[in-house]
Structure 1
């Protein structure tokens, strides 16, 4: 995904997805809201900006949606956005489609149904007034006459009045002297004003003893006037809005929230305040109220939000209603209680039979839904059957529901339905291993029948530092018409052997094998949301960072997405073919978020449990795409561990790459590692250990800073990435290879696999925890980055820069990582976030592979060099510190020496030199002797290209030299 935010590109990466809908049970207040809320956002871009900034806007407590800027004014870009409901707050993020953010999450306080803010590039503040002075030439008034209509639902108007003042002037009391069918009426009349654009006011209560005995909220401003300076507004007791339209006012007292937030506690909120000491509240059923107390002790007893304390714990599977005198009756939803440790302790289910368990004798079903009052199994005749047969599930231990159907049920299509409160939700089984087209229903299958002929076991154990990972999108590999691959865009296309392209060059699997990498890392192949599998005859593309069904393969890569079995078989055929060609397979997994929280199977079955929430009840958004999963909760943690283990066992996978791993927690990742060790300890686990803004204890975030707590788990090293080529957030920012000075130390730290990074950056314990890379699917490709930073340089010069960058990756300690096509200097035409771009942008260009044959051979030689020299793949930090030392070198040059047959290398000494200058430099070698040159900037490998006898070597411009003494 892209963070990268996230630092993706904080991906996702991916980052990348429009999330729709709202969470019913945790946006309860919004279900009662009516009307519209308008917000206006002004954004001043940085000078010289070339990025396409837009907005991600979300109602308080709801999910977000992307909006473009649609206008401009003297300040900058503008957007006028209308949201459903009479909202008090709305949030927004200024971002690009690749989820680069300008500032963090921002909130708008809304009054009068409209909120207006100003933000500036590079400035985290959100201004409620133009920050550089008024620029809009707003009309000013000499005389103002504002008619104020005030409504109190309790009809207690005695003592209430207004305190009003002109902009920049002194205040005065204004009384309500008239009545109408709305309530009381006051007139704010001001004369002989100068440069006044608005009028402020406070609703207050005065007594003989205290003119300010009470007040409703703080300052409110009237900003909309007719040309003669007159205005008419409506306000209501307990509401901090100013209404310019009488019909917009919600005058009916009502309950806006009633949720169980602890086993014996209900949070209760109304749209108007009431006296908590005389609450007049009652609960239905066997629940009895013990006491009612203000939610915030500072508000006093007159409030619109209280805690209802029940005499006994509430049964979360039962339906309760709360009644408040004058406010009506509303259902009580399940709230924060499901996110409590007590809930986890009471309902954690440790069994291994969730989902369906098939035998010829019969199939059993088990689903976890502890807050449901009823649950049903729904079976269907076909994938498009609209009406299913419902069978009641039996309530079982620890919040689970079960059923058993006798006989051979192979091919049965099913879903679950659960009753949450008064509402029935239908969902696909989260543990379903097979699904129908578009993943809308689960399917019962005999997994043994999904194994292809001669389905083999696992490959031999492998050491992480020996890995050279090739990141690939299934569709990209074969979609090019010149690929020579029959099954274009499919799993089977990645399994085809012996294919050739332009000029007879090897393509597809044939090319990857010839390149010499050890692992193929596949972008998401689980069932994802954004490609319509019923319309594969139409152009569609997505990276797949929008999970729908975690345990079933994506259907768009199958030759028959309507067949739940075929997609599984074809994934296994692909894995089998890669294994046959000595290539291990890593699966990219995205457990940090889902396409949409509200429509996810998790949220439908147990609302509010599986996702992480902020203190104010809004969904956490560290992922940048609207929701974060709550891996710290026992059943979410169990699901992640179970899911990864299932893929590892059933598909014989060799590794897992965790998208936005920093959203997840340390304990979960260690449990994943522990489970995989039981299957095969050499299974690689790597992830994006970015430090993300999610409400989790910093010490528990599975990020680079906490790497020392996660043995056997690797992190992408953005330090060396940005040092090599420049920041991924600034297209024009260069790095070591493309002209930035004083980057040598950053390159050196990266070469050592970051083992000496300060704790504020990372806490790597050994090189196996570090993934060294220069480009990935996110952000600009290395080639496109060089075109942005060095547009005036020749093709030949940029090729040299590119080769220098790749050589640094492949001669650094740690795990090497290459993006598919990097070997022939892949371009996406400058698209830095191609998650949904067409095939013409994303597909591997096999003609380019033929045209860049010399460059491919150079990369192939670097891979041969790395595989041939264990010294480049040391296993421990202590060995790196013992054997690797840096040499004196000219400016913009890095040179290092590895001695002592490190890691049992056949070479006694290795010297590596990177020259990022535009001229030849001379570097003193660590000792006199006969040095054999293996890499010289033109060729690379393990063969001797020349012999140097002496104490110095001349390294050409923009070149890497590797020398050895045996």
Structure 2
């Protein structure tokens, strides 16, 4: 069924820094609701001028009451917490009353200073064990604007999921051909066990994504080398600079200014990225509009636009001129029909085998841009084994498939050929489906 996950922002308010207007919380209790310095300056771990004092008892209760209201009154199924690492930070320790709600310092926190990430944040513990919230999905954006990065180490009590920023970076980097990422990419395809296997978490606790509401769309990721945010009125100073994008051509071929060969490579790279997202272990997250190739014309910070940069274009989805929506829909159906693509535990050697261009000979070297692997179901399973390969190099590779006793391999997805032949079905000629060797184009 359909679940509603609500994006919530409890890390800051609209009152800005210490020089801002007194609108609500500042007037009620400045040192209670904000992390402040002795002279009254606001700590700014949010990048928005202030930091909500999330672990103060009164603030904790306010946040809990708010979330309970959304669950009980609106039946929201879960929450994604913006800049959730702020929810783990200590408040103003110079003022015991503001930090702990009393003048008594709790045992074991003598060394805590203002803004310190707490090992057992009271707020996170409350939310994790609350009977009303316990059955909902709690998802952390496990970093903040103050440099705290907790992907894989966010305090989770066995229930919190996380936006997996390491998956985003590894997929973007490897698919565009960056050296030294083959091992990292392989780890992400396995659901990032190094990040999530401890503490009773499963692959599904890692939310894999390549694009989100912040940053480039999938189409812009393969169409632009640089952000183009001039329309925001900040002289292109705003927005993320480190995008790991590639326009698939020369420096002058930004956006629509591209030759036919570059446009064809963009189509392939677009599908390569979607393939990586939907065959990886973990929970995939797709940005609305990416399924039809939505572009924001290279703008990676469109918060200030109520226009077609952000609007969902239903006509583009219906037309599906380049077959993107069909390709994504087929990938989703493939994932849903193969339990090996959504495992409830991290893959072991009994299930997973790594390959190179020859079976069982993976190349983990710094310059390797090819990786392949098989997922083999248990003997009692009715699932078919899967062979998955990625060639991020500029040269084609002739790949020998591993033998499967009493069976033959059937080609399912091939991003090297144009739609509709990129995803094979009953309409595809039989001679294209079966092979012991395949050519892996770049």
In the superposition, the TM-score normalised over structure 2's length comes to 0.72
Deviation string, structure 1 residues 471-490 (Cα, Å, up to 9, x no partner) = xxxxxxxxxxxxxxxxxxxx
Match in the other structure for 1:594: 13
SS at match of 1:914: strand
Change (3 A) 1:857 1:693: same
Match in the other structure for 2:336: 867
2:208, 2:349 → 1: CA distance?
A: 18
SS at match of 1:608: helix
SS at match of 2:331: helix
Match of 1:754 among 173, 192, 210: 192
1:869, 1:721 → 2: CA distance?
A: 23
- 2:298 paired with 1:830: yes
Match in the other structure for 2:82: 659
Instruction: Compute the displacement of 1:679 (Å).
Output: 5.6
Q: Which runs of 5 or more residues in structure 2 are unaligned?
A: 89-120, 225-245, 251-260, 358-362, 416-420
SS at match of 2:185: helix
Report the count of equivalent residues. 354
Match in the other structure for 2:97: none
Change (3 A) 1:691 1:593: closer
Structure (1/2) with the larger helix percentage: 2
1:637, 1:882 → 2: CA distance?
A: 45
SS at match of 1:707: coil
SS at match of 2:34: coil
Match of 1:935 among 405, 413, 432: 413
SS at match of 1:641: helix
Deviation string, structure 1 residues 555-592 (Cα, Å, up to 9, x no partner) = xxxxxxxxxxxxxxxxxxxxxxxxxxx32211110111
Does the CA contact (< 8 Å) of 1:864 and 1:941 recur in 2?
no
Instruction: Compute the displacement of 1:908 (Å).
Output: 4.3
Match in the other structure for 1:897: 374
Does the CA contact (< 8 Å) of 1:755 and 1:765 recur in 2?
no
Larger RCO (CA under 8 A, 6+ residues apart): 2
Instruction: Compute the displacement of 1:766 (Å).
Output: 2.4
Match in the other structure for 2:57: 634
Deviation string, structure 1 residues 76-114 (Cα, Å, up to 9, x no partner) = xxxxxxxxxxxxxxxxxxxxxxxxxxxxxxxxxxxxxxx
1:798, 1:719 → 2: CA distance?
A: 23
Instruction: Compute the displacement of 1:837 (Å).
Output: 1.9
Match in the other structure for 1:784: 220
Pick the structure with greater CA Rg: 1
Match of 1:802 among 253, 265, 270: 270
Instruction: Compute the displacement of 1:882 (Å).
Output: 4.8
1:741, 1:867 → 2: CA distance?
A: 32
Structure (1/2) with the larger strand percentage: 1
Does the CA contact (< 8 Å) of 2:152 and 2:196 recur in 1?
no
Does the CA contact (< 8 Å) of 1:783 and 1:827 recur in 2?
yes
In the superposition, the TM-score normalised over structure 1's length comes to 0.34
SS at match of 2:411: strand
Instruction: Compute the displacement of 1:739 (Å).
Output: 3.1
Match of 1:717 among 161, 164, 168: 164
Change (3 A) 1:755 1:635: same
2:425, 2:15 → 1: CA distance?
A: 50
1:943, 1:875 → 2: CA distance?
A: 30
Match in the other structure for 1:668: 123
2:370, 2:427 → 1: CA distance?
A: 23
Match in the other structure for 2:392: 916
Match in the other structure for 1:690: 143
The aligned runs of 1:131-150 (5 Å cut-off) are none
Change (3 A) 1:672 1:804: same
2:390, 2:381 → 1: CA distance?
A: 21
Match of 1:839 among 292, 304, 307: 307
2:309, 2:203 → 1: CA distance?
A: 35
1:787, 1:817 → 2: CA distance?
A: 21
Match in the other structure for 1:707: 154
Match in the other structure for 2:176: 738
SS at match of 2:41: coil
Change (3 A) 1:944 1:765: farther
1:649, 1:943 → 2: CA distance?
A: 47
- 2:279 paired with 1:811: yes
SS at match of 1:724: helix
Root mean square deviation of aligned Cα: 2.9
Does the CA contact (< 8 Å) of 2:373 and 2:387 recur in 1?
yes
The aligned runs of 1:421-432 (5 Å cut-off) are none
Change (3 A) 1:870 1:626: same
Does the CA contact (< 8 Å) of 1:778 and 1:833 recur in 2?
yes
2:403, 2:37 → 1: CA distance?
A: 60
1:766, 1:845 → 2: CA distance?
A: 36
1:765, 1:845 → 2: CA distance?
A: 37
The aligned runs of 1:174-573 (5 Å cut-off) are none
Instruction: Compute the displacement of 1:912 (Å).
Output: 1.2
Change (3 A) 1:693 1:943: farther
Does the CA contact (< 8 Å) of 2:83 and 2:144 recur in 1?
no
2:137, 2:348 → 1: CA distance?
A: 21
Does the CA contact (< 8 Å) of 2:356 and 2:370 recur in 1?
no
Does the CA contact (< 8 Å) of 2:127 and 2:133 recur in 1?
no
- 2:207 paired with 1:771: yes
Instruction: Compute the displacement of 1:647 (Å).
Output: 0.5
1:896, 1:819 → 2: CA distance?
A: 27
Instruction: Compute the displacement of 1:605 (Å).
Output: 1.6
